[in-house]
Amino acid sequence: MRDLPWPARAYLVAVIGVAAALIVRGVVVSGAPVAPENLDILLVLALLFLVCESMPTLLNVEQFAVSVSFSASLAAVVLLGPEGAALVGLTAVVSVRPGLPWIKRLFNGAQFAICGFAAGWVYVALDGQVGVPQVNAFDDLIGPYVAATAVFVPLNIVLTLTVIALATGSRATEVPMRGMVQFLLSYLGYGTFGLLVAGLWATVASISAVLVLVPLFVARWAFGQYHAQQRSYDATIAALCQAVETKDYYTRGHCTRVSHASSMIAQEIGMGVERVRAIRYAGMLHDVGKLGVPTKVLQKDGPLTEEEFAAIQLHPMRGLEIVRGIGFLDEAYAGIMHHHERHDGTGYPMGLAGDEIPEFAKVIAVADAFDSMTSDRSYRGARPVPVAVEELRKCAGTHFDPVMVAAFIRALEREPWQSPPRVDPPPPEAAESPIKDHDDPTMPIEVVTGQ
């Protein structure tokens, strides 16, 4: 707690204080937050909440992940009302998550209590009936329940993002809106589990929690498998990148930045989630074919012979050969193979022009050249972002697809580019660095003929 900046500490104290006040208010107003005859419901829902909270279930849409414990809180809204929902949320304090600091436990419990209370308050305010729902009255509680979910979910996100922003100094608005919307929708969708528990309670009582838990854990297992697979994909890609970048001291981090810039363009032109993921991979691997180019050619200090330049020009084909067996890359192949084609047809390896060039390749070409220009090279310093943008503009229609250049410029206005830190001169064992970068559109590689 002492490590946190004072605004974060003040915020934590305020959230915990509000939650405590709400619980105390429940005791003062009605003698007990939950009627004694409803203690069994409270116990079952608290257990359901604890099981879910102790085994965080990832509902990942892009980079967001949450546990689905909120379903139990929402069931408590219907079955127990605001104070009961607050109590269920409060049990997050004792969730079985080894190593979780006490302050985080307190905050989790407090923010879930606040969200549960607020959702319950809205539910009651909209005439939602508190208690075990009767079959003939079930329709009447759907509207108030949806409203309660619509309060619980955003409030939960805002409370959590605020503490992260205050603790890390980052801005919550840095979270991409597209991902946030998808996250909210999936979160709201999983909120229906709470309605299921409440609705089933009239017929099967506490068994309803088990009936809901089973599909929940099947979903958890499936998501777990999916994420394990994604992680292994990412590790495979990262290993290949690492191998490429060890060949060239000055291009370290280039693959990651090209991947990021490519995904910025892809999102700007409206590519779907799966294609954005594929283009991220393509950006990471666009130069993997350099593994098939002799290091002495990549690191040659001075003009290249025609044969050496031909070896450089072969790297997109070599890249395709290297990754061809990796099934999950799909459309990324085209990006790797054609990232040096030019809009006017003078690029390589196929000399494709305009619409003949695959969309992935058009995107990567812009991202690749931009990062090359804004990074240090052995033969020049990094150019400022505005200068690189101007160069892209100048080459739009000849080197680059104008649509992709315009999309990238728009994306940069929304998300300013973080240029890489200065590259210190290489250590003696890596001193031989390439005199020219093949990605740099402003300084073409010199080729001497007749050697």
- Residues of this chain that interact with Fe ion (CB under 5 A) are 287
Least distance (Å) between residue 347 CB and Fe ion: 11
Nearer to Fe ion by C-beta: 427 or 444? 444
Least distance (Å) between residue 318 CB and Fe ion: 10
Beta bridge partners of 380: 377
Least distance (Å) between residue 313 CB and Fe ion: 9
Residue from 28, 46, 3, 17 nearest 106 by CA? 17
Nearer to Fe ion by C-beta: 220 or 254? 254
d(CA 156, CA 146): 15
Least distance (Å) between residue 109 CB and Fe ion: 52
Least distance (Å) between residue 151 CB and Fe ion: 51
Residue 100, Cα to own-chain centre: how many angstroms?
23
d(CA 412, CA 393): 13
Cα end-to-end distance, the chain, whole Å: 68
d(CA 34, CA 38): 6
d(CA 14, CA 293): 60
CB 314 within 8 A of CB 339: no
Least distance (Å) between residue 249 CB and Fe ion: 17
Mutual orientation of helices 39-54 and 207-245 as an angle, nearest 10°? 10
Least distance (Å) between residue 335 CB and Fe ion: 11
Least distance (Å) between residue 407 CB and Fe ion: 21
Least distance (Å) between residue 364 CB and Fe ion: 9
Least distance (Å) between residue 286 CB and Fe ion: 6
Nearer to Fe ion by C-beta: 428 or 444? 444
Residue 212, token pair as written in the block: 């809901």
Nearer to Fe ion by C-beta: 33 or 441? 441
* Phi, psi angles (nearest 5°) of residue 228: -65, -40
Q: What share of the chain is helix, strand, coil (3-state, %, to 5)?
A: 70, 0, 30
Residue from 279, 16, 369 nearest 159 by CA? 16
Nearer to Fe ion by C-beta: 130 or 241? 241
Dihedral (CA of 135, 137, 143, 147) sign: negative
d(CA 304, CA 451): 9
CB 117 within 8 A of CB 88: no
Nearer to Fe ion by C-beta: 287 or 391? 287
d(CA 100, CA 181): 28
Residue 414, token pair as written in the block: 């929304």
Residue 400, Cα to own-chain centre: how many angstroms?
28
CB 290 within 8 A of CB 321: no
Dihedral (CA of 305, 310, 312, 318) sign: negative
Nearer to Fe ion by C-beta: 248 or 287? 287
Nearer to Fe ion by C-beta: 53 or 440? 440
Nearer to Fe ion by C-beta: 104 or 247? 247
Radius of gyration of the chain (CA): 28
User: What 3-state DSSP class applies to 402?
Assistant: helix
Least distance (Å) between residue 440 CB and Fe ion: 11
CB 337 within 8 A of CB 355: no
Nearer to Fe ion by C-beta: 268 or 371? 371
Q: Residue of minimal CB distance from Fe ion? A: 287
Nearer to Fe ion by C-beta: 89 or 347? 347
